[in-house]
Amino acid sequence: MHVMIIGAGGMVGAKLAARLATDGQLGEKPIEKATLVDIAAPAAPSGAPFAVEALASDLSAQGSGAALVAARPDVIFHLAAIVSGEAETDFEKGYRVNLDGTRSLFDAVQQAGDQYVPRIVFTSSIGVFGAPFPEAIPDDFQLTPLTSYGTQKAIGELLLADYTRRGFMDGIGIRLPTISVRPGKPNKAASGFFSNIIREPLAGKEAILPVSEETRHWHASPRSAVGFLLHAATIDGDAVGPRRNLTMPGISVTVGEQIEALRKIAGDNVVKRIRHEPDEMIMRIVKGWPQRFAPDRAVALGFQAEKSFEENIRVHIEDELDGQFVA
């Protein structure tokens, strides 16, 4: 089996590559080759029992999608995207990368011919939904995004479903919750503070909270995100049916509940490193985001996430901090 990860230089992509290297297989099939793609050639995971090729490629550049598809990967994880805050502030770049890049990949698969129908796992977002919301958003809630990023992802979902319906590819779209606690440094995602207020204090650093503690959101850990991707790559398409985009399970908590979970695990001194500093743009973006879901289809199909935000924090401490934090 040949597996390709587009966006392998990002946090989730790197963790997915590392997991595949550890497992040596995807589902019941051994991996013979992995191709890792990003705007700069990503690092290969250590100890992989299969061949690894790392490529630098801009998916939105003309001919890039066709060049990647020429290798005929059996499974393509399409994770590449401009994050929410940057897509909102740089309109043209957001559409070029998030929409044109996705269309380039899908068109390249469609034009490959010769009965080439790969499984494509597309990472969408809960940003495809827009207010007003019910208390818990059901699987059949309409797509009414209120950001450019959400709009780009919603269009990608529709393309994936139509190209799959036409038999050009076998696509599964997964709407990821906000992934937290993310390792690494703060990025330009409008949702970045959800991780920052946990990750930075645990590392002995100050964190900025740009919204009120009453802000509620939907979360899953990086470990769960990798699990979603692996399950989406191997799930029976007939069981999914024609509605190819699924909202992933997660945890609905307020920022205040996040902070209390941090206090319970790490203590008051760690929580004191969070500084409130309101940001009007971030508050405006986050105000239009969904807060709670009823992802019944995904749960019935076997997708799983943590049951509490305390679990998310403990996953971060275990996976990123070797079980230690700065008290």
Collapsed DSSP state (helix, strand, coil) of residue 142? coil
State yes or no: is 116 an active-site residue: no
Whether the predicted pLDDT of 84 surpasses 90: no
Mean pLDDT of 106-115: 94
For residue 215, with 0-12 CB atoms within 10 Å meaning exposed, 13-18 middle and 19 or more buried, which class applies? Answer: buried
Catalytic pick from 95, 116, 149, 163?
A: 149
Write down the pLDDT at residue 85.
Answer: 82
**Count of other CB atoms within 10 angstroms of residue 295:** 23
Per residue in 193-218, pLDDT (tens digit) is 999 999 999 999 999 999 999 999 99
Average pLDDT over residues 100-126: 96
The rounded percent of the chain whose pLDDT value lies above 70 is 100
Burial class (CB in 10 A: 0-12, 13-18, 19+), 292: middle
pLDDT tens, position by position, 2-15: 999 999 999 999 99
Q: What is the pLDDT of residue 290?
A: 86
Q: What proportion of the chain, given as a percentage, has pLDDT over 90? A: 91
Q: What angle do CA 172, 178, 179 make, to 5 degrees?
A: 90
Q: Taking the CB of residue 287, how many other CB atoms lie within 10 A of it? A: 11
CATH of domain 2-179+220-247: 3.40.50.720
Angle at 228 between CA 89 and CA 152, to 5 degrees: 25
Please compute the mean of the pLDDT values over residues 77-100 and round it to a whole number. 94
* Average pLDDT value over all residues in the chain: 96
Q: Tell me the domain boundaries of the chain.
A: 2-179+220-247
d(CA 310, CA 176) in angstroms, rounded, equals 19
> What does the pLDDT read at residue 60?
94
Q: What is the pTM of this model?
A: 0.94
